[in-house]
């Protein structure tokens, strides 16, 4: 089972991201755009792990308080285009505590430094390259009230994400 822990977005944020994605397409940006139903904020990528109950138990041990999610800037990791989030010490602290709990329980996860972002496009390309005029991300925000354990399965048209369980405020 391929697992990750994420914050799922409400319809207001998904609507803003969808409109922004369409705006990028009109500007000539191409690539594999993230489907609306797959947009999320990954907190910990676990990967192949066949004990989702153990992950949920770890998540339940880490108190999650409501946290405000707000967009702030755009960027790239190689050919991956993303929207960043405003600095949020509360979110960073939660992720640190969550990852510590996973590590204590021997649950594997990607230990790269947490860099909060929302992936919009893989295989990003634009006629103007990275120097093309990319509009600022939409001004939108939400209050996250829960964290979800997600499962990722390969479908014939790409990845299909489904919630295994959640913990929240």
* Rounded mean pLDDT, 138-163: 92
Mean pLDDT in the chain?
A: 92
Model pLDDT, residue 128: 73
* Rounded mean pLDDT, 62-70: 94
Q: Where are the domains of the chain?
A: 2-168
pLDDT 10s digits, 36-45:
999 999 999 9
Distance CA 41, CA 70 (A): 12
Tell me which H or E stretch contains 58: helix 52-60
Band (pLDDT 50/70/90 cuts) for residue 77 is confident
* Rounded mean pLDDT, 134-141: 89
At 3, list the tokens: 């697992």
Distance CA 52, CA 4 (A): 10
CATH code for the structural domain at 2-168: 3.90.1140.10
Find all residues with CB under 8 Å of 166, minimum gap 6, and list them. Answer: 146, 147, 148, 149
Model pLDDT, residue 131: 64
CB atoms < 10 A from the CB of 3, how many?
A: 22
Band (pLDDT 50/70/90 cuts) for residue 124 is confident
* Rounded mean pLDDT, 15-34: 92
């Amino acid at each position: 089972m391929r697992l990750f822990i994420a914050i799922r977005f409400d319809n207001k944020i998904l609507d803003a991201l969808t409109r922004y994605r369409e705006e990028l397409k009109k500007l000539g940006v191409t690539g594999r755009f993230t489907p609306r139903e797959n947009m999320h904020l990954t907190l910990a990528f676990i990967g192949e792990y066949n004990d989702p109950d153990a992950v949920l138990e770890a998540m339940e041990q880490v108190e999650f308080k409501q946290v405000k999610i707000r967009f702030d800037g755009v960027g790239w990791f190689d050919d991956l285009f993303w929207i960043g989030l405003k600095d949020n010490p509360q979110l960073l602290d939660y992720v640190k505590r969550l990852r510590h709990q996973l590590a204590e329980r021997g649950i594997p996860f990607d230990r790269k430094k947490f860099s909060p972002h929302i992936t919009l496009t893989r295989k990003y390309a634009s006629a103007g390259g990275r120097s093309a005029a990319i509009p600022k991300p939409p001004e939108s925000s939400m209050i996250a009230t829960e964290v979800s354990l997600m499962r990722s399965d390969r479908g014939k048209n790409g990845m299909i994400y489904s919630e295994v369980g959640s913990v929240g405020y």
